[in-house]
Amino acid sequence: MYRVVKKRLLAPAIALLEVDAPAVAAKVEPGQFVIVRVDELGERIPLTVMDFDREKGTITIVVQNVGYSSALIIAMNEGDKFEDFVGPLGVASEIENHGTVVCIGGGLGIAPIYPIARALKNAGNHVISVLGSRTADLLILEEEMRSVSNEVVIATNDGSKGVQGFVTDGLAEVLAQGHQVKVIWAIGPMIMMKAVVEYTRPLGIKTIVSMNPIMVDGTGMCGACRISVGNETKFACVDGPEFDGHLVDFDLAMKRLAYYKDEENRAKARLECDHEGGHH
C-alpha cells in the first residue's frame, strides 16, 4: 500500500506522484487533502489531492520542493512507498451549478484547483480558469486545465506567456469581457489569495480560498492549523480547508506560517550536508 505507481516532473522542483491508496481513492472528493509521512522519522505533511482514480485505487498529488520533507517526497521514485498516507481529510468543495465560475490557480495552486474545476464543469458550470506563474517554464498542468475549462487565461509575472502580471490581472481581463461571474475559487500562495480577495471584495463576488496552514494531525486534535475567519477561530483541517476568503484574516495566517522558520532552516542545512556526505 501507499506505493508510488507513477512519477512525473512537471517543473524543475515540482513532481506529480500517483500513489496506490484504494480506500482513500474510494472516498475522496475535490477539495480534500491527505497527510503523508515519508518514513519513520518523518513529519506529517498535508497535500491536496490533485486527482483520483476510484477504479485503479490511486490518488495523485503534486508536490513542490520548499524544504526538507518536500525534498524527500519529490526524490521518491516509482515503486517507493510512503510510510503513512491518511485521508481523505477536510471538507469537500461545495459543487453545484452556479452558472459562470472562475477558477484561479497560482503556481502550485493549479494542482488543487484542477479537480474542483473539473467537478464544476461536470456540474454544468461555464468554467473560466485563470492560471498564473512567475514565468512560462513554471506553469504546470496547462493541458489538463484546458481539458476541464471552457476558457483559460494565463498570466505570468514576466510576461513570457499570456497576460503580463499577476492572476488578478488575468481576472481583470475576464471580468472586463462582461462575464456574470457568480463564484470564484482561488488557490495558491497565501499572498496571492489575499490579493484576489482584496480585488473581489469591492466587487462583491463570492470568493472561496483553500487555506494551507501548518498542520500536525489533520483531525481537529491539536489546533496547530487554527486560523481566524470572521473573527472566529477555526481549525482548517476539519472546518476547511476551504473558507469564504472575504472573512479570512490572511495577515495572521501568513505570520503563523513563519512559526518554524529557524527549524526549517536547520533541517534544510542538514539536507544539504546529507547530500554532500552522500547519504540520501
Ligand X SMILES: Cc1cc2nc3c(=O)[nH]c(=O)nc-3n(C[C@H](O)[C@H](O)[C@H](O)COP(=O)(O)OP(=O)(O)OC[C@H]3O[C@@H](n4cnc5c(N)ncnc54)[C@H](O)[C@@H]3O)c2cc1C
Binding region for ligand X (CB under 6 A): 33, 45-48, 61-64, 66-70, 108, 111-112, 212-215, 241, 257-258, 264, 267
Residue type, 105: G
Q: Where are the alpha helices (DSSP H) in 28-165?
A: 68-74, 110-122, 142-147
Name which of 139 and 190 has its Cβ closer to ligand FES: 190
The answer to the question of residue 183 lying near other proteins (CB under 8 A) is no
Residue 84 binds which entry of ligand FES, other proteins, ligand X, none, CB below 5-8 Å type-dependent:
other proteins
The answer to the question of residue 257 lying near ligand FES (CB under 6 A) is no
C-alpha dist (Å) from residue 75 to 12, 71, 140, 242: 12, 6, 18, 29
Name which of 36 and 184 has its Cβ closer to ligand FES: 36
The answer to the question of residue 66 lying near other proteins (CB under 8 A) is no
Name which of 24 and 103 has its Cβ closer to other proteins: 24
Quote the CA–CA distance of 142 and 147 in Å, as a whole number. 9
C-alpha cell at 272: 544539504
Angle at 136 between CA 131 and CA 141, to 5 degrees: 50
**Residue 53's beta-bridge partner residues?**
58
Quote the CA–CA distance of 164 and 81 in Å, as a whole number. 41
Q: Site for ligand FES (CB under 6 A): how many residues?
A: 12
CB-CB contact of 183 with 103 (8 Å): no
The answer to the question of residue 84 lying near ligand FES (CB under 6 A) is no
CB-CB contact of 173 with 165 (8 Å): no
For the CB of residue 256, give the shortest distance to ligand FES in the complex, in Å: 12
The answer to the question of residue 226 lying near other proteins (CB under 8 A) is yes
For the CB of residue 16, give the shortest distance to ligand FES in the complex, in Å: 25
Using omega within 30 degrees of 0 as the cis cutoff, is the peptide bond preceding 213 cis?
no
For the CB of residue 237, give the shortest distance to ligand FES in the complex, in Å: 3
Name which of 115 and 218 has its Cβ closer to other proteins: 218
For the CB of residue 213, give the shortest distance to ligand FES in the complex, in Å: 8
CB-CB contact of 170 with 163 (8 Å): yes
Near ligand FES by CB under 6 A, which window of 14-22, 67-75, 145-153, 211-219? 211-219
Name which of 73 and 95 has its Cβ closer to ligand X: 73
DSSP for 194-258, please give it. Answer: HHHHHHHTTTT-EEEEE-----SSSSSSS-TTEEEETTEEEEHHHH-SEEEGGGB-HHHHHHHHT
The answer to the question of residue 37 lying near other proteins (CB under 8 A) is yes
How many other C-beta atoms can be found within 10 angstroms of the C-beta atom of residue 231? 7
The answer to the question of residue 86 lying near ligand FES (CB under 6 A) is no
Residue whose entry in the numeric block shows the C-alpha cell 526549517: 264
Near ligand FES by CB under 6 A, which window of 60-68, 192-200, 209-217, 257-265? 209-217
**Residue 60's beta-bridge partner residues?**
18, 51
Name which of 88 and 241 has its Cβ closer to ligand X: 241
Q: Which residues bind ligand FES (CB under 6 A)?
A: 215-218, 220-225, 235, 237
